[in-house]
Amino acid sequence: MKPLVSPKRIPSSYAKKILVVFDLDGTLTESKAPMDAEMATLFVNLLRKKRVAVIGGGRYTLFKEQLIAPLEGHPRELFRNLFLFPTTSTAFYRYHHGWKNVYIHRFYSGERAKIKRAFREVLREAGYTPPQKVYGKIIEDRGTQVTFSALGQDIVARLGVKEGVRRKEEWRRKYTPLKMKIARLLAKRLPNLEVRAAGFTSIDVTKKGIDKSYGLRQIEKYMHVPIKEMLFVGDALFRGGNDYAARLTGVDCVAVRGPEDAKTVIRRLVEPRVR
C-alpha cells in the first residue's frame, strides 16, 4: 500500500494523472451540503483538463443536489468528463445527452427487509437510544444500500450546513465506539453483505464486495484508465474509514481534512507550477 500524501506535498508527477477520483462528503463538500462557489469554479477548471469520478455514500438524487446543481451555468459538455458513483459505487451514471445510468446493483426486496430487521435488533442489543429529536429517517432504504444515520438522514437539509454538521461532529466525538459496536454486531448478523462504518454518524450496508475499491475497478473497466493513472482524494483513508478500501488497489492517494484541503489539491493539479 502506498503512503498517503498531504495536499501540500503532492508530487508534480500527479498533475499528469489521467483521472482524479474524489470522495464526496467531507472531501468536495461538507457532509450532505452542496459544493461552495469556489469549489464549483475549481471543479470546472479540473473538468476542462481531466476526467473526474466521484464515489460517495449518498444516493443519486443527493449527488445531483450537492455536485451537479452548483455547476449550473457552466458548459454542459464538460459533464462528459464527469462520472458519478453514488451509494458507494453500487450505481454508475455518465453524461451523454443527459445523465444515463450504466449499471445499478439493487437489493432484492427480501434482502432489504432482512437488513432493516437486523438493524433494529442490533440497535436494541447495542443499547442505542435515538436522540429525542431526529431529522428524517434513522434507517434509510436507498434501494442499492441501506444506511443508518444516528441523527436522521435530513439533519443537514433541515438545520442548515453549519448547525447540521456541528451536531454530527458532536455525535461522532461522543458515540464513535457505540457506532463501531453496532457495525460489528451487524456484520456478524449479515455475513453475506458488506457492512461499513461511514461518514460521521452512519453505517452503510451494500452487497458483498462493494466498496470504493470496487468503484475504482469499475472506472478502470468502463473508462479504460489503469489504476496507476488515477489519483484518489478522500477524507477517510485511515484504517476503518470508508475510503480505506480505495488504498488497497494501490492507487496514489491524497488525504484531505475537508473541502479547503481538496481545493488545494485541485489548484495543484490544474496549475502544477503554483506552489
Q: Provide, rounded to whole angstroms, the least separation between the CB of residue 57 and Mg ion.
A: 8
Residues with Cβ < 8 Å from 242, sequence gap 6 or more?
Answer: 23, 57, 88, 196, 197, 198, 199, 204, 211, 212, 236
- Applying CB under 5 A, which part among 41-49, 123-131, 166-174, 227-235 lies near Mg ion? 227-235
Q: Write out the DSSP string of 161-221.
A: HHHHHHHHHHHHHHHHHHHHHHHHHHHHH-TTEEEEEETTTEEEEEETT-SHHHHHHHHHH
Longest CA span, the chain: 55
125: enclosing H helix or E strand: helix 109-125
x-or-dash string of contact with Mg ion, 186-225, rule CB under 5 A: ----------------------------------------
142: enclosing H helix or E strand: none
204 or 235: CB nearest Mg ion: 235
Q: Looking only at residues 231 through 270 of this chain, which bind Mg ion when binding is defined by CB under 5 A?
A: 235-236
Q: How many residues bind Mg ion (CB under 5 A)?
A: 5
Q: Are 250 and 19 in contact (CB under 8 A)?
A: no
Q: Provide, rounded to whole angstroms, the least separation between the CB of residue 24 and Mg ion.
A: 7
112 or 167: CB nearest Mg ion: 167
Grid coordinates in use for 181? Answer: 459496536
26 or 185: CB nearest Mg ion: 26
Q: Provide, rounded to whole angstroms, the least separation between the CB of residue 198 and Mg ion.
A: 8
Q: Are 100 and 94 in contact (CB under 8 A)?
A: yes
Q: Provide, rounded to whole angstroms, the least separation between the CB of residue 272 and Mg ion.
A: 25
Q: Looking only at residues 12 through 51 of this chain, which bind Mg ion when binding is defined by CB under 5 A?
A: 23, 25-26
Q: Provide, rounded to whole angstroms, the least separation between the CB of residue 259 and Mg ion.
A: 11
Residues of this chain that interact with Mg ion (CB under 5 A) are 23, 25-26, 235-236
